Copies of this chain bind each other. A is one copy, B any other.
Amino acid sequence: MQINPPYLMFLGDVPDQLAAKTAAGIVDWRRDWCIGQLRLPGCKADLGIADMSIADAAKAGTRTMIVGVANAGGVLPDHWVRTIVEALDAGFDVASGLHTRLGSKAEIADAARRNGRQLFDVRHSDMRFDTGKGDKRPGMRLLTVGTDCSAGKKYTALALEKAMRDRGFDADFRATGQTGIFISGRGVAIDAVVADFISGAVEWISPAADANHWDLIEGQGSLFHPSFAGVSLGLLHGAQPDAFVVCHEPTRTTMRGVKTPLPTIRQVIDLTIATGTLTNPAIRPVGIAVNTQALGEDEARAYLAQVSREHDLPATDPIRFGVDVIVDRIAADYPQTVRAKAAS
């Protein structure tokens, strides 16, 4: 699955900004891929980019229209179908993060066929994968793991991609969730894969690469989350990371959606090493990424200093303070990978 930019961002008529969270994430990380936004009357979300008709977006070179909004239940309202058909008739592919498959609407399926265009439903996985092999693949890999779901794993991997590229590393973000797939144009929603193929799908997402190339793989869930730990372990084994960053939100006491207490950062480090060793005995932590949103600035700095001391690892809030301290550690621990881009 390769979703081709540039994108026209379709927002439908969603009732608030939160419903366009995925679309906003795409604009944050790939501003230059986003040609404009298309909003229907009554839309209450705004990405802060130019409003455009299908015709204008076509002239500007759009290749894919992204349905990057989530309404209640993830269904595709009937009154959005006409715009999606128009996009296909204009020669765009269409990619959606909704639960409803685009092709389940006959008019959309017909228009895609008629125009020879592709429909992407990134929340579903119809690809066939092999089962994981566990063989070591060339290339360096970093995985973001978490004490919980929604603890900043995608953001941290994307921030590392940007900072490492700026420093001359040859580094690519690898998506395992829907927003990440739109942002990188490829990837697999790993939680939608049939259970037998979790690690095999990740081996496909992060294939063999140059020895000094870094794949920065978006983690999912937590090894300690009673709903999703299976996904997290299959992802870890398939990713076979050399390095990992632990993502943490310090004010939570229970894990998302369940009554299970949050594990400690130490527990996550220990179990990630204990289980990750199976497919990469060299696995080790290189940093801690904390979402300090709930803390004042002084409090946040004090907390990060303490966490850093406790684990002998750089600790930062990627949004507030950037990820340079983690990149410094990667540069120090894996010097042969610095400036791999310039050299290759």
Pick the residue among B135, B191, B199, B230 that contacts A199 (CB under 8 A).
B230
| A48 on interface, CB distance cutoff 8 Å | no
How many A residues touch the partner, as a band?
A: 35 or more
Given contacts A134-B258, A228-B131, A229-B278, contact A195 B199 (CB under 8 A): no
> What residues of chain B lie closer than 8 Å to A257, measured between beta carbons?
131
Complex CA distance for A232 and B234, rounded to whole angstroms:
10
Known: A133-B258, A258-B134, A259-B135. A195 touches B229 (CB 8 A): no
In the complex with contacts A258-B133, A259-B134, A260-B278, A237-B233 CB distance below 8 A: no
Measured between beta carbons, the chain B residues less than 8 angstroms from A112 are none
Question: Given the known A-B contacts A134-B259, A135-B259, A259-B135, are A226 and B279 also in contact in the complex, defined by CB atoms under 8 Å?
Answer: yes
30 sample A-B contacts, Cβ–Cβ < 8 Å, listed by A number: A131-B227, A132-B227, A133-B226, A133-B227, A134-B226, A134-B227, A135-B258, A190-B195, A191-B195, A191-B196, A192-B194, A192-B196, A194-B195, A195-B198, A196-B228, A199-B226, A199-B227, A199-B230, A200-B227, A223-B275, A226-B278, A226-B279, A229-B233, A229-B234, A229-B237, A229-B275, A230-B232, A230-B234, A260-B278, A271-B274
